[in-house]
Chains A and B, each alone.
Chain A
């Protein structure tokens, strides 16, 4: 089984629900967004349009971050999910240099949203999940998948623009969407084999 995600750009309306639900799920420090939304303007008056491009870790089949990691902290987990073993990470940031999709963050020091006021009770709980001096990233919400739930960004997408499923199964929803709508990946020329596909708007 190869887990992958399909994002329908036609459906995305930039509510930033994915961004915020991911943040709430993982309790990431200020400035860290495992899922973020890029925007792009297209066309000219009187027919301009705004496109929104949600991005996240592409969980590549041939991930350069996994190849670059000297200690094997970045690794392939179940179903091809790319994750980080935080106990093995030495904080060299080689993986961040290697990632073509800019979806890794270095957690250098605990920081909170309300500065000197200290952490909120929620931040206090969440910050324990993120050790300092190591790199962090999206892991397709492995803990939710283990419970049979969808990742937070998928479950909370108001427009149902995101679908997750088995890319190896030709009959899965993700495979059918890619086939019928001509799904594309980011930087296919890099040969990283991304497992996040986009459907053209």
Chain B
């Protein structure tokens, strides 16, 4: 069956209201960034010990999800599953939008955002951060090219090779993002080769959850038809991805527990670290993984669109909790300057570093999500990203 893509009308009051809300959240985030720039990081919860805060939690989540959102398109072109073909353009659009949202937050949080040109022109190639500048900008280019080959009929024959390139690029990109933490030899929370593959698994799960939530909302709000069989396959895929993340998280923590030097940190993050174990067990594990898995796997409930959306949102919230535990929890645990010795000072040594995110940080983080949302909302109105109807038979012969 031929796939017919069409822009959404986007003339309703609800459409403009959604756009206005997203614009307002973005404006609030920009105001937060201005406050941080004007008054310094003293208006945030960040300190010289918790150097990356709430904006980084959201930014890294969005960047990881961006790579995973492209997965649906990859399944179609790389693994030859024509069934997913109609879903591919939205997949590419989400990948670009999420990455743009995440990078916007990171850029606005820089101490000297005005020196972005320096970051883009002077590279230290031993730095994973510098390499990520290439990976992120390259990702935009590769996915844009991929979208062109998918959406321009004359270019369709190149979709497969470009899809392969995009797939490899996204794997390398997420490896790079995971390695930001994996290469941190300084901190007990990180310094692990496990983090790169774990971030890849996380990207599959977060990206697909975002994709599902956006897909269902877009089709429901534009009154288009969305086939139950198509949704069933996607939600089953999400169950597998959540399970993969659980596997990596379990192996990561179990491995750490075998190393004597890591036990104190594991006890902190899993048992007696206050907010961090609560977020790990309650947020990431129960609400963000086990509950959505049970919801999606339920034979009757799992088929309902509302359930799929709710489960996807829970996976997203669980992902944010996971990022909070990883990024903030990893810094809150004190660096061990003299191993085996309890050293203190009148400054910050030897104690758990407190962190309470402030309003500007929340605003900036939410702005990243809103920027991604605005890009998607505008793009589906201006360009043909969504098939007129999504039927399981679509794309099978095309």
Interface of A toward B, CB cutoff 8 Å: 31-33, 36-40, 53, 55, 64, 66-72, 88-94, 96-102, 104-106, 108-109, 111, 132-135, 186-187, 190-192
Contacts and interface: CB of A to CB of B under 8 A. Distances in A.
Contacts of B184: 64, 68, 97-98
A90 B116 CA distance: 7
Contacts of A190: 185-186
Contacts of A64: 184-186
Interface centre among B51, B110, B113, B187, by most A CB within 10 Å?
B51
Contacts of B345: 36-39
Contacts of A111: 40, 42
Interface string B193-220: 0000000000000000000000000000
A72 B129 CA distance: 11
B103 to A, nearest CB: 12
A70 B337 CA distance: 25
A133 B118 CA distance: 14
Interface stretch (B8-16, B17-25, B64-72, B119-127): B119-127
Interface residues of B, number: 45
A71 B110 contact: no
A99 B187 CA distance: 9
A40 B111 contact: no
Interface of B: 39-42, 48-49, 51-52, 110-113, 115-116, 118-119, 122-124, 126-130, 133, 180, 183-187, 331, 335, 337-339, 341-345, 347-350
A165 B143 CA distance: 54
B249 to A, nearest CB: 21
Contacts of B348: 102
Nearest to A131: B112
Given A70-B124, A106-B48, A40 B342 contact: yes
A186 B337 contact: yes
Given A71-B124, A97-B331, A40 B343 contact: yes
Interface centre among B129, B335, B341, by most A CB within 10 Å?
B129
A185 B116 CA distance: 37
Contacts of B51: 93, 96-97, 106
Nearest to B131: A70
A101 B110 contact: no
Contacts of A88: 118, 122
B126 A67 contact: yes
A106 B344 contact: no
13 contacts: A31-B347, A36-B345, A36-B349, A37-B345, A40-B343, A70-B133, A71-B123, A89-B112, A90-B116, A101-B337, A106-B51, A133-B112, A186-B337
Contacts of B180: 94
A19 B143 CA distance: 53
Sorted nearest first, the 4 A-B pairs with minimum C-beta distance are A91-B111, A109-B40, A108-B40, A133-B111
A102 B349 contact: yes
